[in-house]
Amino acid sequence: MSTGETPSRRTGGRIRSQDAHDAVLTAAIELVEELGYQAVTIERVAARAGVAKSTIYRWWKSKAPLVMDAYRTAVEQRMPEPDTGSLAGDLIAFTTALYGVSAHPIRVRTLRGLMAEAQFDPTFAEPFQQWVDSRRAVVRTLLTRGVQRGELPASADLDAATDHLFGLFWYRLLVGHQPLAPSQAPDHINQLLSGLRTKHRE
């Protein structure tokens, strides 16, 4: 009996700690989507998560990394890295999910707010850039797999291709002059890949 009880207590401690960590992330993303980044405070996150402020400060030094860690976790859950077996399939799946934010006005407003905040708050700009880099890394992985499978030339400019994909997304999201619909993803990706392959043939 005793050999079963000790691991149970240890596991319970880890579960409680992980539960608190997850509750803080959930509270942070809920608050930033409800109130906007400026209105989020560690006190509000602690109250929403049901934990002490000291618990939050054990894991995050300030509001900025906490909010972006929460947002990174939420986005990774909503948009897992696709692996369809082809570059076009991967990029279309990724971009379809990316454009899907347009169906959620609160998320659109949150993204616009986070982008704006990063332009004016140096303490927020760094964790925001780290999040941007993490999303770019997913697309670079998909493109690199495409090169390895011979679907793109080795000389393809993967950084520019990544900029093209996200540039269209952010421009339409921020300016709002054209729709950003998931149904557009296949055409946009086919245009992107066609451009990369045409340049190589030239």
Domain that holds residue 21: 2-61
Where is the domain boundary, 15, 34, 61? 61
Tokens of 56: 């939050």
- For residue 199, pLDDT beyond 80: no
Name the domain count of the chain: 2
Across 160-178, average pLDDT: 96
- pLDDT value of position 164: 97
Where is the domain boundary, 28, 61, 94? 61
Can you give the pTM of this predicted structure? 0.86
The residue type at 100? G
Tokens of 182: 């998931």
Helix 122-148 to helix 158-175 angle (10° resolution) is 130
Distance CA 202, CA 196 (A): 10
Query: Are both 155 and 194 inside the same structural domain?
Result: yes
For residues 159 and 152, the answer to whether their CB atoms sit within 8 Å is no
Query: Are both 99 and 159 inside the same structural domain?
Result: yes
Q: pLDDT category, 198, cuts 50, 70, 90?
A: confident
- pLDDT value of position 15: 52
Query: Are both 41 and 141 inside the same structural domain?
Result: no
Q: pLDDT category, 8, cuts 50, 70, 90?
A: very low
Query: Are both 53 and 83 inside the same structural domain?
Result: no
Cβ-count burial of 6 within 10 angstroms (0-12 exposed, 13-18 middle, 19+ buried)? Answer: exposed
- Residue count of the chain: 202
* DSSP codes, 54-80: HHHHHH-SSHHHHHHHHHHHHHHHHSP
What digits encode the pLDDT tens for the residues 54-69? 999 999 999 999 999 9
For 91, half-sphere exposure in the C-beta direction (CA atoms, 13 angstrom radius) is 30
Query: Are both 14 and 54 inside the same structural domain?
Result: yes
